[in-house]
Amino acid sequence: MKIVVLAGGLSPERDVSLSSGSLIANALIETGHRVMLLDLYKGIDLPGDLDDLFTDVDSPHRYQYTVPAMEPDLTQLKAEADMGDVLMGKNVLDLCRSADLVFIALHGDIGENGKLQAVFDVYGIRYTGTGYAGSLLAMDKDLSKQIMKNHGIPTPEWMLFHCETDDPAQVEDQIGFPCIVKPCNGGSSIGVSIVADRAGFDLAIRAAQKYEGAVVVEKLIAGREFSVGILDGTALSVIEIIPNEGFFDYINKYQAGRTQEICPADLHSEVSARMQAVAVQVHEALRLKDYSRIDFMLDGADNIFCLEANTLPGMTPTSLLPQEALVSGISYNELCNKIAEMALR
């Protein structure tokens, strides 16, 4: 197939996306596809022959991108590209229409909130992953938690807090401290803070406001953190996430050696099976499609709490889904090829 791997974008998670996209593109090349990696935001000038943009297995060219320790400066990016807040760059749509398939390797914002999927549906462009409705439901943490609650899926107590208008006293009354503050539609733990008291809450709100005007304030669950990938309707092995220090924030997620990831997780078989069953339930309740990753906390009494669902889980060297797939005997290249093939069904 001729495949466009779409990555980057105008998102705080663009560096993670470019790393994922580079590896995905290389994997698809190695499995026999003709591939190009395309930055959604920057776009590209077209050559006389579009085929010149695509790389096949006989070419020595391969993609490479390393995630920096700090998130990207989007203000600087916009100034350098001289494109302002436009979300889709030059010739992106034409190139996507010319391909057999678009492999969406974006993280955050337009890649995961359903906008891009809706545009592709309008133009009849085939793409990987979940459609626009499931993407929207999973990306909005308040909406997804409401759906979980309505389906009887345990999730930490929470409230939606509007930074400019709501009274922090509501948080103390409804949630209490300690708690977690996270942007309602963010990812990669960008803008996330663990809050111990009112002073910490005020600082956390200021940090989160850089990204969004509304945040989810969630009761902190003390315990162990896990994730379960879903591939073609089946739960993969449970993976445990143990940062060497702090919590599973942006640096600990994407800098090698800062977090231990144990797969299969050291859990009683009954707890693992229960967590996998809940992961499938979340996947179905949120109308997710070919693959996803569902994140959990487990308290000291083995109570499971679903934190959120990821419709485009990371595919970097330190990402969780590829590690889980490997335990099931699915190599990285096979995983990428399987996701592409599922999109064509």
CA–CA gap between residue 171 and residue 175 (Å, rounded):
5
Largest CA distance in the chain: 64
DSSP string, 11-77: STTHHHHHHHHHHHHHHHHHTT-EEEEEETTTB----SSGGGG-B-TTS---------SS---HHHH
Told to judge if 244 belongs to the known catalytic residues of this protein, a careful annotator would answer no
Task: Identify the residue whose tokens are 């490997």.
Answer: 326
DSSP secondary structure code for residue 164 in this structure: T
- Among the options 63, 211, 254, 291, which is catalytic? 254
Q: Which of 168, 127, 157 is nearest to 289 (CA)?
A: 127
- Among the options 22, 113, 185, 188, which is catalytic? 188
- Among the options 295, 319, 324, 337, which is catalytic? 295
Told to judge if 188 belongs to the known catalytic residues of this protein, a careful annotator would answer yes
- Among the options 193, 293, 324, 332, which is catalytic? 293
Q: Is 227 helix (H, G, I), strand (E, B) or coil?
A: strand
Told to judge if 176 belongs to the known catalytic residues of this protein, a careful annotator would answer no
Told to judge if 341 belongs to the known catalytic residues of this protein, a careful annotator would answer no
- Among the options 310, 319, 324, 332, which is catalytic? 310
Q: How many helices (H) and strands (E) does the chain have?
A: 13, 12
Q: Give me 83's structure tokens.
A: 């494109």
CA–CA gap between residue 242 and residue 245 (Å, rounded):
8
Told to judge if 126 belongs to the known catalytic residues of this protein, a careful annotator would answer no
Strands 2-7 and 291-298: unpaired
- Among the options 314, 324, 332, 337, which is catalytic? 314
CA–CA gap between residue 111 and residue 65 (Å, rounded):
19
Told to judge if 254 belongs to the known catalytic residues of this protein, a careful annotator would answer yes
- Among the options 8, 11, 13, 89, which is catalytic? 13
Identify the burial level of 165 via C-beta atoms within 10 angstroms of its C-beta, where 0-12 means exposed, 13-18 middle and 19 or more buried. exposed
- Among the options 308, 319, 324, 332, which is catalytic? 308
Q: Which residues pair with 103 in a beta bridge?
A: 5
- Catalytic residues, which ones? 13, 188, 254, 293, 295, 308, 310, 314
